[in-house]
Amino acid sequence: MYPLVSSYFAHYLFTKEKYDDAAEKYAYSNIEFEEVVLQYLNEKKYQSLSIYLTKLLSLTPKYSKYKGKRLLLCSFLLNELLAKIDNLGYQEYQKLNFLEKSNFNLNSNMNNNININNNSNQINDRNPLIKFLTENIDDLDLESTTFHLQIQGKFNESYEFSKMKVL
């Protein structure tokens, strides 16, 4: 796809309030990242912004040269996912959170070897946060991601991510 054509087409779709379609096209355009992000933020179109960031992440090569860009995109997407989870509310998130229903108890297992007797595929299927962390483990930084998760009160997910990242 040609970047200039994508730019014009994306802008056209955006002005027609077809934000999701525009997000797909913006990923192929030559419009600056900051300009596109600010455009979506000004319109409060966070879902469409997530589409743009996800598409941009999928188009960004996994070479070390692009590690910073991939980290930035994953951090934006993680922040958006945590905001969605916060909007769900505690009760609804607990329905998704397979870890809370497991045999995992951080306090009682601190001095013992920690065992989680769950199938990791089940965890990934039920918990969108763990799924995201697993899929993007190579692009996320251990310290900043665990810090961000803990600030949001996602201690189990922070522990799981740390365990995945170290192993």
Residue 107: pLDDT over 60 = no
- Rounded CA-CA distance 26/15 in Å is 13
| Averaged pLDDT score across all residues of the chain | 81
The one-letter code for the residue type at 7 is: S
DSSP 3-state of 156: helix
CB neighbourhood size of 108 (10 A): 10
Tabulate helix, strand, coil % of the chain (nearest 5): 75, 0, 25
User: Please, which residues have CB within 8 angstroms of residue 79's CB and are 6 or more apart in sequence?
Assistant: 148
Q: What is the pTM of this model?
A: 0.73
Least confident residue range of 50-54, 115-119, 129-133, 143-147: 115-119
Summarize pLDDT for 123-149 with one digit per residue, the tens: 445 678 888 999 999 999 999 999 999
Q: What is the predicted pLDDT for the residue at 84?
A: 84
For residue 20, which of 51, 53, 55 has the smallest C-alpha distance?
51
CB neighbourhood size of 53 (10 A): 23
Summarize pLDDT for 2-49 with one digit per residue, the tens: 888 999 999 999 999 999 999 999 999 999 999 999 999 999 999 999
Alpha helices per DSSP H over the chain? 3-15, 19-26, 33-43, 46-59, 67-88, 90-96, 106-109, 120-126, 128-135, 142-151, 155-166
Higher-scoring residue by pLDDT: 74, 110: 74
Residue 119: pLDDT over 60 = no
